[in-house]
Amino acid sequence: MARSAVPAAAPDVAALRDRARIIRRHIVEMLHEAASGHPGGSLSAVEVVTALYFGGILRHDPENPEWPERDRFVLSKGHGVPVQYAALAMAGYFPVDELRTLRKIDSRLQGHPVLGTAPGIEASTGSLGQGLSIGLGMALAARLDDMDSRVFVLLGDGECQEGQVWEAAMAAGHHRPANLIAIVDYNKFQLDGAIEDIIGLEPLAAKWESMGWKTREIDGHDMQQVVDALEWSTQAGEPVCIIAHTVKGKGVSFMEGDNAYHGVAPSNEELPRALSELERGDPEEENARALGSADVLDRAEASIDASAESNGKGGGR
Ligand SMILES: Cc1ncc(C[n+]2csc(CCOP(=O)(O)OP(=O)(O)O)c2C)c(N)n1
Ligand SMILES: [Mg+2]
């Protein structure tokens, strides 16, 4: 019997924040090891991906990745795949140690997602613009097969400058799958500049709404807002687009909002700086520590190790 790897109870937002910080550490470590890749757009999507995999949203089974009734997550902005690999490893799809093989020859973890390589990857992406069309097909197929699988598609804001995104949006507005959720990682930059300077997207919510989507705009780094929006999206009964306002490079101060880190890995000097910032955690957690709470990072790591042990897929960081 397939199971969901996520808790059925209301998600523990503090624990999700801890997970998010560990995912950020994995991202900078694996990109440093690969000496290439895309930190900015991986880090901006961390809260969304963390909430999906660990916040009780995505119904999935690391022990049975092909479970037919699973929900699907399509990372349309495929260059951000380090965030998904980190989440998949922490969920038990493959050993956390394998993250070190990112972008290496013969690794299952290529620089963009490849269907049929790493378990948990649902679509080959990287050529921007295609993921919403793929997700729409999956959502309509589930409806035809009378399955209640939901499909979550994560798009970049630069990616939304691709025409195919709007073909898929218009087609979804026509066919109205209630199980299709688009999330835009609105970090305000694409590869070589600011969205507003290249092709502005505003009014973005109105564009989706005009094509028949329900929308909600959130702070994509506020874990509670992310969880609430994702929970709402599964109950909306219509195609939903969540516009997540984010910061490119979020969590590493010298990367935040600096688009030089769109596609440049942290150097030997930058890695320890990044990791020490991610070790410190955010002010809210520091407050909790100051008030005498248990060390939240230790707690999160212990629970990750325990879940990795219990599913026999290795552990550690
Ligand atoms: C069709 C296509 N054109 C160009 C590229 C090269 N490219 C890779 S990432 C990127 C920028 C994407 O920007 P955005 O979607 O905003 O991603 P993020 O800011 O989250 O990294 C571009 C143009 C590509 N991967 N696919
Ligand atoms: Mg962007």
CA-based nearest residue to 71, from 83, 84, 81, 61? 61
Amino acid at 175: H
pLDDT digits (tens, 9 = 90+) for 111-126: 999 999 999 999 999 9
Is 284 part of any domain? yes
Written as one string, the DSSP assignment of 41-100 is: HHHTTHHHHHHHHHTT-S---TT-TT-TT--EEEESSGGGHHHHHHHHHHHTSS-GGGGG
**Cis? peptide before 82, omega within 30° of 0:** no
> What was the pLDDT predicted at 302?
42
Residue partners of 30: CB distance under 8 A and separation at least 6: 37, 82, 85, 86, 99, 100, 102
Residue 128, ligand 1, Cβ within 6 A: yes
Question: Could you tell me the CA-to-CA distances from 12 to 98, 230, 243 in Å, in that order?
Answer: 27, 15, 23
> What was the pLDDT predicted at 112?
98
Residues for the chain: how many in total? 317
Find the radius of gyration of the CA atoms of the chain.
Answer: 18
Q: Using CA atoms, how far apart are residues 19 and 299, in angstroms rounded to an integer?
A: 10
Is 8 part of any domain? no
CB atoms within 10 A of CB 100: 15
Structure tokens at 60: 């999935």
What CATH number does residue 25 fall under?
3.40.50.970
Is 317 part of any domain? no
pTM for the model stands at 0.89
Residue 76, ligand 1, Cβ within 6 A: no
Q: How many structural domains compose the chain? A: 1
State the distance from the centre of ligand 2 to the C-alpha of 213, rounded, in angstroms.
Answer: 21
pLDDT of residue 296 exceeding 80, the answer is no
Mutation choice for ligand 1 from 159, 185, 187, 201, CB with most ligand atoms inside 8 A: 159
Q: What is the 3-state secondary structure (H, E, C) of 232-260?
A: HHHHCCCCEEEEEECCCCCCCCCCCCCHH
Is 37 part of any domain? yes
pLDDT cut 90: percent of the chain above it: 84
pLDDT of residue 89 exceeding 90, the answer is yes
Please give the average per-residue pLDDT across 49-68, as a whole number.
98
Residue 185, ligand 1, Cβ within 6 A: yes
Is 25 part of any domain? yes
Residue 281, ligand 1, Cβ within 6 A: no
Q: Using CA atoms, how far apart are residues 83 and 24, in angstroms rounded to an integer?
A: 8
Structure tokens at 41: 């757009």
Is 22 part of any domain? yes
Q: Residue 155: what are its φ and ψ, rounded to 5°?
A: -115, 150
Please give the average per-residue pLDDT across 271-289, as a whole number.
73
Residue 113, ligand 1, Cβ within 6 A: no
* Helix boundaries (H) for the chain: 13-34, 39-43, 46-54, 81-91, 131-144, 163-175, 195-198, 204-210, 223-235, 270-280, 283-290, 296-310
State the distance from the centre of ligand 1 to the C-alpha of 38, rounded, in angstroms.
Answer: 10
Is 4 part of any domain? no
Residue 261, ligand 1, Cβ within 6 A: no
Q: Using CA atoms, how far apart are residues 153 and 148, in angstroms rounded to an integer?
A: 16
Domain ranges, residue 77: 13-310
> What was the pLDDT predicted at 282?
56
Residue partners of 100: CB distance under 8 A and separation at least 6: 29, 30, 33
> What was the pLDDT predicted at 305?
44
pLDDT of residue 12 exceeding 80, the answer is yes
User: 281: pLDDT confidence band, cut at 50, 70 and 90?
Assistant: low
Is 53 part of any domain? yes
Can you tell me which atom of ligand 1 is nearest the CA of 262?
Answer: 21
